[in-house]
Amino acid sequence: MTRIDAKFAELKAAGKKAFVSYIMAGDPDYDTSLEVVKGLPGAGVDIIELGLPFTDPMADGTTIQLAGQRALASGMTLERTLQLATEFRKDDDTTPIVLMGYYNPIYNRGVEQFLTDAKAAGIDGLIVVDLPPEEDDELCIPAQAAGLNFIRLATPTTDDQRLPKVMQNTSGFVYYVSITGITGAAEAEAVDVAPEVARIQAASNLPVIVGFGINTPEKSKAIAEVADGAVVGSAIVSKIASGTPVSEVLDFVRSLADGAHQG
């Protein structure tokens, strides 16, 4: 059982929904992002999604793209991202960390070396958005063999014919992308999300967590009411981008987490 599996079992026993937060590793610099990450569990975050900076993030909107550029400009690399996770693990051995990004930096490092290093750094799962199920032999299956969850995205365009393929070899949870488009492009609506979540739940026994387009405590609550939890990324990254003090960023995160936990 991974930390992700254990966290969902704990939440289920407590009758609570999950709150997942995304931040870009190294945004705006290593020390600030480490301070934010260390504060997330205390702000109510159940699972941390840690963005891996990359020069060509095709699924991301302007907010996340700019965060990646700031991180890269500050000297952030895959190695330093894993170092940040290692630092976090010195004080917290229970909160799951999902590394979210693109395959190129992983391929460049070498899959075997990357998985060894990620496991040693305390990474629990991977979301690699540009590797479809047809490429499972490339990273997904080796990752699962190494004890890491491989989390897949489902979208509004994932039809009933495609869904079983997407669910194949997926573990940890399913990340449902609530809108058609890039991060931060539109707002998620619970009335649209609910039937899609039910459809995915019928095809899998994994928790379904909804992300993209969630930016307020009220929206976080509404989405958590129809899913197994909510993910917020761009709204948090926007606070960091504006130079908001870390304590205030964490207060905002706490309000979003409280919303999801009431769902």
Residue 120 neighbours by CB under 8 Å, 6+ apart: 82, 86
Report whether 214 contacts 39 (CB < 8 A): no
Residue 13: alpha-carbon gap to chain centroid: 22
Question: What order do you get walking across the sheet with 174-177 strand by strand?
Answer: 149-150, 125-128, 97-101, 47-51, 18-24, 229-232, 208-211, 174-177, 152-154
Which of 185, 158, 165, 145 has its CA nearest to residue 59? 185
Report whether 35 contacts 85 (CB < 8 A): no
Amino acid at 49: E
Q: Residue 215, exposed/middle/buried by CB under 10 A (0-12, 13-18, 19+)?
A: middle
Is residue 149 within a helix (H) or strand (E), and if so which, with residue range?
A: strand 149-150
User: Rounded to whole angstroms, how far apart are CA atoms 207 and 189?
Assistant: 19
3-state helix, strand, coil in the chain (%, to 5): 50, 15, 35
Report, as residue numbers or ranges, the catalytic residues.
49, 60
